[in-house]
Chains A and B, each alone.
Chain A
Amino acid sequence: MSDTETAAQQQWAFHGGLALPGHKQISTTAGVQNLPLPEQLIIPRQQHIGKPAEPCVSAGEHVLKGQVIAHANDYVCTPIHASSSGNIVSIGKQHVAHPSGLKGTCIVIDTDGKDEWIKLEPTGYEDMNPSHLRNLIREAGIVGMGGAGFPTFIKLNPGIKENIDTLILNGAECEPYISCDDMLMRDRPDEIIAGMRIMRHALQAKHCIIGIEDNKPEACKSLYDALGDATDITITRIRSHYPSGSEKQTIKILTGKEIPTQGLPLDIGVVCHNVATAMAVYRAIELGEPLISRVVTVTGSAVARPGNVNALIGTPISNLLDFTGVDYGNLSRVIIGGPMMGFLLQNRRSPVTRVVNCLLTYSHDEIKPSQPPVLPCIRCGECARVCPVSLLPQQMYWYARARDFDKVQEYNLFDCIECGCCDHVCPSNIPLVQYYRFAKTSISEQEQDRRKADVARDRHDFRLQRLERDKRDRENKRKKKLDALKKSKGDGMDAKQKAIQDALARISKKKAAQNTQPGNISNLTTQQHQLIQEVEKRRARLDPFDPNKKSDHQNENNQ
């Protein structure tokens, strides 16, 4: 079956990359298992690239499964849904899976065990306007599930030119150990293909290709079988060569086109989505279900029963570890994502989010020998040889270390995809990617500072102008008054004298009013009078506008 099709589909190679051991069979022996409903769900408001969603529920409120609990209030943002029914316990800072180990705002739900859905409204898509379709996909909270988490509805917008040549579904899953997409393609091929057809409708794309690394023959076969005689989608096996699943590389392999630097796939008429995203789109449109769960691979040497589990978004990671029988005594560390691009999990209560695709565990004996000292760069150039974007990692490393951020950008730092190939081959064990991440975040911080400085300059200039204007206004007013005064001098009665007399009259009237004693104190004892005086004193001390108070304060300072 495949011979003719694979032959027909031309493929292009990319520079560098690595042939890595897959380690996938560890977690593919059993099918996807459903995780039992956790007692508590911790749902972060930031699970995508862009602005965090704004919580729209409050503590104590009861929510149903699939109910929106945080609104999208920006374009690059998606709403967040409750993954199960229950009561909102709190909205506040919780540990989240992020390399910084910092806390993020989460909505915590105590589940009620009923798992009660809101009313689902399947729509179908054939007669739907693509714009409306994208809106539904946004409302379902769908983001790229391969790891980046970019809102999918934006990537389903064909742009102004509306000229999408190829829609690619990325089933490469090139990083070792991870197998959640593989299992999805084996178990749910129909949903993936249906999701792809919805995506094609939204984009009005001409061609559809699913790219799968050739180390997943079962997934390939299952998709072929699901496709049957249909010819609208091509399934292509690509060479297992890390990082073939990176968007830039996948597109290059399948179309021969390169995404221009700082550009989008859209610029070359290609759009690329992950297979799990396609499935989420299918479920959102055909079943009306928002994105509230995902498949996570739990693997590595510290797990007794490695495999893939279907977990609700917000499930604490410790639940997944327990479920797969982690030996905590031997667990050295948990990596979120794969061994090449993943990061260290710092708190096991952190929840599963839409972008957590793999939990990779390392046992103690595995970690110890792999911490050799970092030696100076010997300029061997191996990093440049494996770089899939043909950068010069070594030069970038020198300049990043020297904090010469202009120079490091001249070496195209921002084209780096952080795949970790250079790290992997470095004989001196230099954490190259971390240097690039350091440089990238430093540069964006600098840019932010510059923007802030510009705002401050504008505000300062405006303030100076305002002060200037106020001064002018006061001057004008004074002049006007003077003029008026001069004019009125001609009228027999002196206006100035009159004003003074009026003011004096007002003051004396006021004084008279103040001098009036309260009528009810005339027949009080001296003791009572003393008490009243003390109270008056205390009141004077407390009153900040009393002139005595101010002098007190100054005295304090002088002392």
Chain B
Amino acid sequence: MATNIDSSPPLTPKTSVSGVMLQVIYALVPGVLAYIWFFGWGVVFNILFAVITALVTEIIMLRLRHRAIMPFITDGSAIVTAILLALALPPVTPWWVIFIGIGFAMVFGKHLFGGLGYNPFNPAMLGYAVLLISFPIEMTVWPLPDMLNETPLGFLDSLIFMFSGNLPQGLSLDGITSATVLDTVKTELGRNLMLSEIYTKPIFGTLGGKGWEWINIGFLAGGAWLIYRRIISWHIPLAVLGGLFIIALLFYIFGAGGLPSPIFHVFSGAAILGAFFIATDPVTASTTLRGQLYFGAGIGILTYIIRTWGGYPDGIAFAVLLMNMAAPTIDYYTKPRVFGHSPDNSDRDDADE
């Protein structure tokens, strides 16, 4: 029917879902390269294994749901979810952790809600949250960046560790890993150490964690490119980082140096990755422009609260999930003024309600 009663036929080839997803993947490249540079092959294996698991899960779920496979498998959304979740995992993660995380993200986070476009929560962050709660140890041992690591894991060693859990002779997990900077700050502040003392540890760099600064600059560049290409709008990233920065600044000033600087907050953990690549997931974010500002600011502020007073070192995942829940309500209250309506949108046609 639709082929013979056409409203408005297409004019020129336009952006497609797969086109959007592909550009997101391109934009991740600089950050991912930096990540690999500092943390070695583990990152590569994480991403590859996650992508393969995600695609297989997607195919199985589409079959079970009796849906067309090709249009959905080629839309790239599963790949983006897999890469984002893989980037949130430590580079020394056993395969089954990834498997469970991706499996949960795809099955419970996406397909049980009805597949692409119908999921209320960001699948990658849902998978990550499940992993963080279920396997707190595996999820918080981060290898030292290669420059601080005297015995970084090579290609084979990473692969062997991933699938068997065995490290090369004479190495222990404790020897090659440490807590992340956010984790360190949190525990050490809890032990009443001064920030200046904490910052002397070797894992700290100029802006955030050593090596992490560059990875985050890579993600920042990729995000900027996405905004330039109009794949995402500037509203959510700016609001996330702005919200985080401003609340961190306030506590930094009133905390009289007892709390980390806003710069440190922005450049540590997953703040930049989250702001440009996770919070901007269109399916689960707010859609009105004004709503996106509230949505982003909410993520920034919640992240700071969780980081500073919560039980986990980083809070992006939980902040994103909480704001995902709030997105429909935010959208409802931030409807733009419709052409020809008075500013509060309460004219004749709404008056009788």
Q: Which residues of the partner chain B approach A377 to less than 8 Å between Cβ atoms? A: 117
Judging by beta carbons under 8 Å apart, are B13 and A369 in contact? yes
The answer, yes or no, to whether B4 is at the interface (CB within 8 Å) is: yes
A375, B338: Cβ atoms closer than 8 Å: no
Say yes or no: B2 contacts A431, CB within 8 Å. yes
The reply to whether the CB of A38 lies closer than 8 angstroms to some CB of chain B is no
> Looking at the complex, which one of B20, B283, B341 makes contact with A261 (CB distance below 8 Å)?
B341
Contact A258 B15 (CB under 8 A): no
Q: Mark B1-40, 1 if CB is under 8 A from A, else 0.
A: 0111111111111111101100000000000000000000
Does A91 sit within 8 A of B, measured CB to CB? no
User: Which B residues between 69 and 102 are near A, CB-CB below 8 angstroms?
Assistant: 71-72, 75, 77
A411 cross-chain contacts in B, Cβ below 8 A: 335
Q: Is B191 an interface residue (CB 8 A)?
A: no
A21 within 8 A of B: yes
* Cα separation A379 to B284 with both chains bound (whole Å): 8
Neighbouring A residues of B285 by C-beta, 8 Å = 379
B17 with A378: CB separation less than 8 A: yes
List which B280-298 residues lie within 8 A (CB) of chain A: 282-285, 287-289, 292
Complex: A426 Cα to B288 Cα, angstroms: 16
Q: Closest approach, in angstroms, between the C-beta of B8 and any C-beta of chain A?
A: 4
Please name the residue on chain A nearest to B8 by beta carbon: A420
Cross-chain contact B335 with A392 (CB below 8 angstroms): yes
* Bound CA span A335–B10, Å: 11
Contact status of A375 and B75, CB under 8 A, knowing A20-B11, A340-B11, A428-B17 = yes
Q: A346-B4, A427-B20 are in contact. Are A376 and B15 (CB under 8 A)?
A: no
For A379, the chain B residues whose CB sits under 8 A away are 117, 282-285, 287
Assuming the contacts A21-B12, A379-B282, A427-B15, asked whether A99 and B117 have C-beta atoms less than 8 A apart, the reply is: no
Inter-chain CA distance A101–B1, complex, in Å, is 12
Q: Are A340 and B117 in contact (CB under 8 A)?
A: no
> Please, which residues of chain A bring their CB within 8 A of the CB of B289?
381, 384-385
| Segment of B161-169, B174-182, B307-315, B344-352 engaged in the interface with chain A | B344-352
Residues 374 to 398 of chain A near chain B (Cβ within 8 Å): 375-382, 384-385, 388-392, 394-395
User: Interface residue tally of chain A, by bracket?
Assistant: 35 or more
- Let me know if A341 is at the binding interface, CB within 8 A: yes
* Nearest-Cβ distance from residue A347 to partner chain B, whole angstroms: 11
Q: Residue A433 at the B interface, CB < 8 A?
A: yes
Closest-CB distance, B255 to chain A (whole angstroms): 37
Tell me whether A541 is interfacial, beta carbon within 8 Å.
no
> Which of B12, B17, B72, B288 has the most chain A CB atoms inside 10 A of its CB?
B17
In the bound complex, what is the Cα–Cα distance between A438 and B348 (angstroms)? 24
The distance in angstroms between the C-alpha atoms of A389 and B116, with both chains bound, is 28
Given contacts A341-B8, A390-B337, contact A375 B17 (CB under 8 A): yes
Which residue of chain A has the shortest Cβ distance to B71 in the bound complex? A373
B339 proximal to A (CB < 8 A):
yes
Is B349 within 8 A of A380, CB to CB? Answer: no
Q: With A342-B9, A375-B71 as given contacts, are A248 and B283 in contact (CB-CB < 8 Å)?
A: no
Interface string of B311-353 (1 = CB under 8 A from A): 0000000000000000000010001111111000001111000
Collect the chain B residues with CB atoms within 8 Å of residue A390's CB.
336-339
Contact of A176 among B7, B11, B118 (CB under 8 A): B11
The answer to whether A99 and B349 touch across the interface, beta carbons within 8 angstroms, is no
Q: Are A339 and B9 in contact (CB under 8 A)?
A: yes
Q: Taking CB as reference atom, which chain B residue is nearest A21?
A: B12
Q: A381-B287, A392-B288, A418-B7 are in contact. List 19 more A-B contacts (CB 8 A).
A: A15-B339, A21-B12, A258-B339, A261-B347, A340-B11, A370-B9, A370-B13, A371-B3, A373-B71, A381-B289, A389-B339, A389-B340, A390-B337, A390-B338, A392-B335, A425-B15, A429-B10, A431-B8, A437-B7
B: residues with CB less than 8 A from A are 2-17, 19-20, 68, 71-72, 75, 77, 114-118, 233, 282-285, 287-289, 292, 331, 335-341, 347-350
**A–B complex contacts, Cβ < 8 Å, 13 sampled:** A15-B339, A21-B11, A262-B349, A335-B9, A342-B9, A379-B283, A381-B233, A381-B288, A384-B288, A390-B336, A392-B336, A424-B14, A429-B16
Interface residues of A, Cβ cutoff 8 Å to B: 14-15, 20-21, 99-101, 176, 248, 252, 258-263, 333, 335, 339-344, 346, 362, 369-373, 375-382, 384-385, 388-392, 394-395, 409-412, 414-415, 418, 420, 423-429, 431, 433-434, 437
